[in-house]
Structure 1
Amino acid sequence: MKLSRASLPVVLAGFLSAGFLLHASAAEPAKPKSGQASKDKTANGKMPGLATPDYIPEAARPILRKKMERHGQDARDLMFSVTLLQYDMAKAAAQRIASEPRLVRPIVGGEDDLNALLPERFFVLQDEARTRAQTLSIAAEKKDDKALAESYGRLVETCVACHSAYLNRQ
């Protein structure tokens, strides 16, 4: 079977979703015995996530971490709801991503601000993610499976590019 250029985002989204599902099921902890509290965390007590690059000062990390934890949960909710064709949940998750507060571009005189440390490409991709999440929300509202898969694939492309720009300060 030969893939057309238009079907590539759908295939990419399918592979990414399958990988996330397999990872989630393989990493799922054993069910706690009665009386034990369950944790939705790794052995060290933290959710797995994107590494913090060295150029981010220690004092700024908790602020960024809190924002990114919410973002990560929305991304996981979106991945599962799109994969399982749960349209209302996909729409809601996409809308949360589209409307989440964004980091603003650096301003003159703010050279010591966290925003000044981030690469310009981060801000471009942040705006692109918002637009693509809005497109995904519309596809979910219409219950258009093909558009839902394609828009999810495009959003994930933006997510990966943004994470790369952040980690590698591109």
Structure 2
Amino acid sequence: MLVVFAHPDPHESVANKRMIEAARQFDHVKVHDLYAAYPDFIIDVHHERELLLEHDVIVFQHPLQMYSCPSLLKEWIDVVLGKGFAHGGGNALAGKICRFVITTGGAAEAFSQTGYNKYSMEELLQPFELTALLCQMRWVDPLVLHWARRVSDEDREAHAELYADWLCHPVSEVV
């Protein structure tokens, strides 16, 4: 299992830091920190594709930023999942499991037609789902922690445990 972790300031994170600790406890999970690997944003596409080919479960863990992912992850998606490799004549990721694990700075209620953000998380994350489907990956509904900085330590810990449990049994939630 590969966790592609994209957080521009992981040392300031409270929720993602705890969740990555939970992921790193497992021998079968490789945590790949994009911001640590590519501080200059120059992505080694060949290396990244090799990592993808070595794993059957791909997790994208990141905070929601400007209703999307951090910029380095967007660049990674654009160049690594390119035409001829993962789609458009390539099917290197066909059948692999894909899940997004996301933290937000807003309350769950804010992500609705009547909420502050006007759209649900499902609507906001559709581009990621469509990307996974274009690459013929098996989509698992995202795991989202809302108000990551405002929830209690107990709630953050429970969320990290839920994540860890899923990391142990990822196939059980595949669509």
TM, length-normalised to structure 1? 0.32
- Identify, as 1 or 2, the structure richer in strand: 2
Give the greater-gyration-radius structure (CA): 1
- Identify, as 1 or 2, the structure richer in helix: 1
